[in-house]
């Protein structure tokens, strides 16, 4: 029974990790190539979820329609943001980028409240994924399993794109020396836009996949954004591989920690102390993990190799 529960929680952690990977891959690419901090990435995720929920409810429960609206919609929105705001900030300090994207977060949260109202919007799991599947005798919700599958597929796709194609080669080259790539006649602005659009589309995909399992509301992007930042810092800024492993580690540590740490502490400590301390430590666990990683390896677990 306990091992069953443990594996279920492990899978839940994997599912959270995969979702975090979809977000951190985009963010870390944008950082690695353009040297830009984009805090509005969480807002793109939120907009993706809202687009998906709106389309899902408008086309009476068609998940395909939701996907067809959410991903291209977020892609377009991302391109707009890049053109209007961020393209003017590439040469400026991180401080200016942080501030401008912070302003965008406030803006999008209010836009969402204005258009869809302050209450949460709901989106159901599509009927063909609403059951459970049997994993070695362990029942697990099919939809969550689908999230894991989609995330791993995207991970493989990104790996192939970055390491096996010409565009991927340009992206890697742009990350290590943008001036040189530009001097060789590559349109680096176009490359930037492409990468930003890719990141935005991935954020939209994450929003779409998360839509049915979280409550879609204003401000839903911020907690996820902060987890994403933890992932990126832990994994090593700018590295897709780091984002992948970092996301899985953070997702699993957070989920499993929250599920089992309070019970574990109850065995070790006095009951009343454990009751008070357990949830507190569980919610701080990933930050402690990040602090430990940074104290030992300031560049993160999987730093980008340059040169």
Residues 21-80 binding other proteins (CB under 8 A) are 31, 37
Helix (H, G, I), strand (E, B) or coil at 159: helix
Residues 250-269 binding other proteins (CB under 8 A) are none
Helix (H, G, I), strand (E, B) or coil at 26: helix
Half-sphere exposure of 146 (CA within 13 A, CB side): 19
Question: Among the candidate windows 2-10, 50-58, 203-211, 229-237, which touches other proteins by CB under 8 A?
Answer: 229-237
* Rg of the chain taking only CA atoms, in angstroms: 20
Dihedral of the alpha carbons of 147, 152, 154, 157, in degrees to the nearest 10: -160
226: contact with other proteins by CB under 8 A: yes
96: contact with other proteins by CB under 8 A: yes
Q: Which of 76, 79, 111, 133 binds other proteins (CB under 8 A)?
A: 111
Residue 125 corresponds to which tokens in the numbers above? 């799991």
Rounded to the nearest whole angstrom, what is the least distance from the CB of residue 246 to other proteins in the complex? 12
Report CA 60 to chain centroid distance, whole Å: 28
CA distance 247 to 103: 26
Rounded to the nearest whole angstrom, what is the least distance from the CB of residue 233 to other proteins in the complex? 5
CA distance 188 to 172: 12
CA distance 264 to 262: 5
Question: Among the candidate windows 10-18, 190-198, 202-210, 288-296, which touches other proteins by CB under 8 A?
Answer: 288-296
Looking at the DSSP bridge assignments, the partners of residue 140 are: 133
110: contact with other proteins by CB under 8 A: yes
CA distance 177 to 271: 57
Rounded to the nearest whole angstrom, what is the least distance from the CB of residue 51 to other proteins in the complex? 18
Question: Among the candidate windows 72-80, 124-132, 136-144, 232-240, which touches other proteins by CB under 8 A?
Answer: 232-240
Interface size with other proteins, residues (CB under 8 A): 44
Residue 10 corresponds to which tokens in the numbers above? 């492990």
287: contact with other proteins by CB under 8 A: yes
89: left (phi over 0), alpha (psi -120 to 50) or beta: alpha
Report the largest interatomic distance among the alpha carbons of the chain, rounded to a whole angstrom.
67
Instruction: End-to-end CA distance of the chain: give it in Å, rounded.
Output: 51
Q: Which of 89, 181, 224, 265 binds other proteins (CB under 8 A)?
A: 89
Rounded to the nearest whole angstrom, what is the least distance from the CB of residue 107 to other proteins in the complex? 3
Q: Which of 68, 85, 133, 256 binds other proteins (CB under 8 A)?
A: 85
Q: Which of 98, 186, 256, 264 binds other proteins (CB under 8 A)?
A: 98
Residues 181-210 binding other proteins (CB under 8 A) are none
Residues 112-131 binding other proteins (CB under 8 A) are 113-114
Binding-site ranges for other proteins (CB under 8 A): 31, 37, 85, 88-89, 93-96, 98-100, 102-111, 113-114, 222, 226, 229-230, 232-233, 237, 276, 279-280, 283-284, 287-288, 290-291, 294-295, 298, 300
């Amino acid at each position: 029974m306990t091992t069953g529960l443990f594996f279920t929680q492990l899978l839940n952690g994997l599912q959270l990790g995969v979702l975090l990977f979809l977000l951190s891959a985009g963010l870390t690419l944008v950082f690695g190539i353009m040297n830009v901090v984009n805090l509005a990435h969480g807002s793109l995720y939120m907009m993706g979820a809202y687009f998906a929920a709106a389309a899902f409810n408008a086309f009476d429960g068609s998940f395909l329609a939701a996907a067809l609206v959410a991903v291209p919609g977020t892609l377009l929105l991302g391109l707009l943001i890049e053109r209007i705001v961020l393209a003017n900030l590439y040469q400026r300090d991180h401080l200016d980028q942080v501030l401008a994207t912070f302003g965008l977060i406030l803006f999008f949260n209010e836009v969402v409240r204005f258009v869809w109202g302050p209450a949460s919007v709901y989106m159901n799991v599509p009927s063909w994924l609403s059951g459970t599947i049997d994993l070695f005798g362990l029942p697990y919700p099919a939809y969550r399993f689908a999230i894991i599958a989609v995330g791993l597929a995207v991970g493989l796709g990104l790996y192939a794109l970055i390491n096996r194609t010409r565009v991927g080669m340009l992206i890697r080259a742009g990350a290590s020396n943008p001036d040189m790539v530009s001097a060789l006649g590559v349109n680096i602005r176009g490359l930037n836009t492409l990468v930003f659009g890719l990141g935005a589309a991935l954020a939209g995909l994450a929003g779409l996949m998360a839509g049915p399992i979280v409550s879609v509301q204003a401000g839903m992007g911020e907690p996820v954004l902060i987890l994403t930042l933890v992932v990126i810092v832990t994994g090593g800024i700018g590295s897709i591989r780091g984002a992948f492993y970092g996301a899985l580690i953070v997702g699993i540590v957070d989920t499993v920690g929250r599920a089992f740490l309070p019970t574990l502490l109850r065995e070790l400590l006095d009951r009343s102390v454990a009751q008070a301390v357990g949830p507190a430590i569980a919610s701080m666990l990933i930050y402690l993990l990040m602090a430990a990683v940074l104290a030992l390896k300031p560049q993160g677990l999987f730093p980008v190799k340059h040169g």
